[in-house]
Amino acid sequence: MTMRALRIHEFGGPEVMRFDDVPVPQPADDELLLRVHAASVNPVDYKTREGKFGPVGEDQLPLTLGRDVSGTVEACGRRVEGFRPGDEAYAMLAHDRGAFAEYVILKEDEASPKPGGLGHVEAASVPLAALTAWQGLFDHGGLQAGQRVLIHGAAGGVGHFAVQFAREKGARVHVTVSERDVEFARRLGADEVIDYRSERFEDRARDMDLVFDLIAGDTQQRSWSVLKPGGTMVSTLGPPSEDEARAHHARGVGYMAEPNGGQLAAIGRMIEAGSVVPEIDATFPFDDARAAETHKQEDHVRGKVVLRLA
């Protein structure tokens, strides 16, 4: 049996993505085969396509893109205990597989039951961005109730989850966004919303316990001065400078988000309870996957862009 998959055979612009017919994969003992209903687009997809995502080199081509998925379990390996065919599941995938395909293999420990009440499009928008926010704030940033956090890029895929998680934790949340997202950031629960184009965040954010940096460059560089001594800079864009960390008596952490079915289940419970809400910017049919990726890469996007497959 074959399926359609959106693959790259070389690195480059959107034109290198093409639909191929490939065999439907077979699950190993600890794996599930998922029929994909929806898959969302993340910056890692176009960075991978351009050859700018470090862990994926030429030797891994051809490669199916897509790291976020929601769908129905089609088949289970012998040792899978938590899922049965017909269950609805969602997951972030490791970079060795791709969700922009009609079927995909999940490891059981990557997968979580899809949150009740959420459609596949909404569910597919969650895993990678929400896990990145969760792991950055809590596993690497150690954010506690009552602490002060500054989140740069708060209206994007990762940022809009981070604001909601930090608010739910009971932190005081400062954010930077562009002007059109000021109201959106307030609705998410940010206490201090800074328009990064017209204001200097240093003037309004001080004595931060944590800076969660989704932007890097000059934004990160200027952020050291808003941390209090002993504070932490967590970045999704590589390890912050050790020299700067030392000079500011702070800690710098770079990290790569990882699939985690248990954390995804906890996030799903917050979504079911209505305390966290995913924001969808746009949905596209699978046939328009190139346009979806270009939209995410080039246009101002609030929240997530999702592909509908079934």
Ligand X SMILES: NC(=O)c1ccc[n+]([C@@H]2O[C@H](COP(=O)([O-])OP(=O)(O)OC[C@H]3O[C@@H](n4cnc5c(N)ncnc54)[C@H](OP(=O)(O)O)[C@@H]3O)[C@@H](O)[C@H]2O)c1
Residues at the contact surface with ligand X, assessed by CB under 6 A: 42-44, 47, 129, 132, 152-153, 155-159, 176-178, 196, 214-215, 219, 236-237, 256-257, 300-301
Q: Do residues 113 and 89 touch, judged by C-beta distance below 8 A?
A: yes
Provide the minimum distance between the beta carbon of 117 and ligand X in the complex, in angstroms, as a whole number: 24
Q: Which is nearer to ligand X, 200 or 249 (CB)?
A: 200
Q: Which is nearer to ligand X, 24 or 237 (CB)?
A: 237
DSSP 281: E
The residues near 304 (Cβ < 8 Å, ≥ 6 apart) are 40, 41, 125, 129, 157, 278, 279, 280, 281
Task: Compute CA distances 34 → 104, 150, 161, 215, whole Å.
Answer: 5, 37, 25, 33
Q: Which is nearer to ligand X, 115 or 159 (CB)?
A: 159
d(CA 231, CA 224): 9
Q: Which is nearer to ligand X, 178 or 241 (CB)?
A: 178
Provide the minimum distance between the beta carbon of 234 and ligand X in the complex, in angstroms, as a whole number: 10
Provide the minimum distance between the beta carbon of 82 and ligand X in the complex, in angstroms, as a whole number: 25
Task: Compute CA distances 280 → 138, 154, 180, whole Å.
Answer: 24, 14, 16
Provide the minimum distance between the beta carbon of 180 and ligand X in the complex, in angstroms, as a whole number: 7
Element holding 269 (H helix, E strand): helix 261-272
Provide the minimum distance between the beta carbon of 236 and ligand X in the complex, in angstroms, as a whole number: 3
Q: Which is nearer to ligand X, 117 or 262 (CB)?
A: 262
Provide the minimum distance between the beta carbon of 74 and ligand X in the complex, in angstroms, as a whole number: 28
Tokens of 168: 């739910």
Q: How far apart are the first and last CA of the chain?
A: 17
**Sheet with 148-152, edge to edge strand ranges:** 192-195, 172-177, 148-152, 208-213, 227-235, 251-254
Q: Which residue minimizes CB distance to ligand X?
A: 156
Q: Which is nearer to ligand X, 79 or 222 (CB)?
A: 222
Output the CA torsion sign for 5, 97, 84, 304. negative
Q: Which is nearer to ligand X, 27 or 159 (CB)?
A: 159
Provide the minimum distance between the beta carbon of 45 and ligand X in the complex, in angstroms, as a whole number: 9
**Chain centre to alpha carbon of residue 290:** 19
d(CA 207, CA 191): 15
